[in-house]
Amino acid sequence: MTAKEQIDKNKLPKHLAVIMDGNGRWAKQKGMFRSMGHENGTKAVREIVEACAEINIPYLTLYAFSTENWSRPKLEVELLMKLLVSSLKKEIKTLHDNNIKLNAIGNLEALPKKAQRELKDVIDKTKDNSRMTLTLALSYGSREEIIKTIKEISHKVKNNLISPENIDETVINNHLYTQNLPDVDLLIRTSGEQRISNFLLWQIAYAELYFTETLWPDYRKNHLFEAILNYQNRERRFGKTSEQLK
């Protein structure tokens, strides 16, 4: 049986998040410019979006550009923004034909105007799609998101719209960029790095973490199916004992 056939459709992660890492190293290994790594990374994005749609994962979130990535060389940042615009233009039809809804999280106003317009266009066009929600984390940083959340809630407290006693997980969830998304069940990071790099700190509180040496441009459907199988063989206890789950 192939990895895909072994997947238990009743035990799928509802929300899969991916830190797509290793584009630069992939290019360097081949004696190419980093930009080639990013360009080839878009193929892996297409594969993984398709794979998730095939097995019916309802929420997929991809870390595409972090708040920290703004510190990269200007040319690399420009290239990544151009790649974002061209990928959106290229993929809009496929997304729409496959009933996929595009969503974006992060400080989107920091993106170049052109990227903002293109993003808004695809989000608008796909807003009624229901098979899967694909969220791109762009200019995203979890700490920035938490600060934004605290500011918004503080203003509401100040204006007597909410009392401090009523602040709970739901209130916080409702102010995060991810307000319409469930908690992350499985977080995958490629390229061998074992860190979170300021991604969804609140939302991964109980996520299963999966690290793989594969560099992002080499990541294919079968790698994802293997990761899902690994996830399905874990026992998620959420603080309880194993016996309680039986």
Among Mg ion, ligand IPE, none, partner that 63 touches (CB below 5 to 8 angstroms by kind): ligand IPE
Q: How far is the CB of 66 from ligand IPE (least distance, A)?
A: 4
- In the residue annotation, 21 being an active-site residue is answered as yes
Q: How far is the CB of 21 from Mg ion (least distance, A)?
A: 4
Q: How far is the CB of 102 from Mg ion (least distance, A)?
A: 24
Of 68 and 169, the one with the shorter C-beta distance to ligand IPE is 68
Q: Among 7, 13, 20, 21, which residue interacts with Mg ion (rule: CB under 5 A)?
A: 21
Among ligand IPE, Mg ion, none, partner that 66 touches (CB below 5 to 8 angstroms by kind): ligand IPE
Separation of alpha carbons 126 and 214, rounded Å: 31
Here the tokens at position 45 are 């994005």
- Residue 59 dihedral angles phi and psi, to the nearest 5°: -130, 125
Give the binding site for ligand IPE (CB under 6 A). Answer: 19-25, 63-66, 68-69, 80, 191, 193, 195, 197, 216
Name the CA radius of gyration of the chain, rounded.
19
Q: How far is the CB of 78 from ligand IPE (least distance, A)?
A: 13
Of 21 and 118, the one with the shorter C-beta distance to Mg ion is 21
91 lies in the site for Mg ion, by CB under 5 A: no
- In the residue annotation, 128 being an active-site residue is answered as no
Here the tokens at position 17 are 């998040």
Strands lying side by side in the sheet with 208-211: 100-105, 132-140, 59-66, 15-19, 186-189, 208-211
Part in contact with Mg ion (CB under 5 A); list of ranges 18-26, 57-65, 91-99, 174-182: 18-26
Other C-beta atoms within 10 Å of 185: how many?
19
Here the tokens at position 110 are 């920091």
Of 25 and 221, the one with the shorter C-beta distance to ligand IPE is 25
Of 12 and 215, the one with the shorter C-beta distance to ligand IPE is 215
Residues that bind Mg ion (CB under 5 A): 21
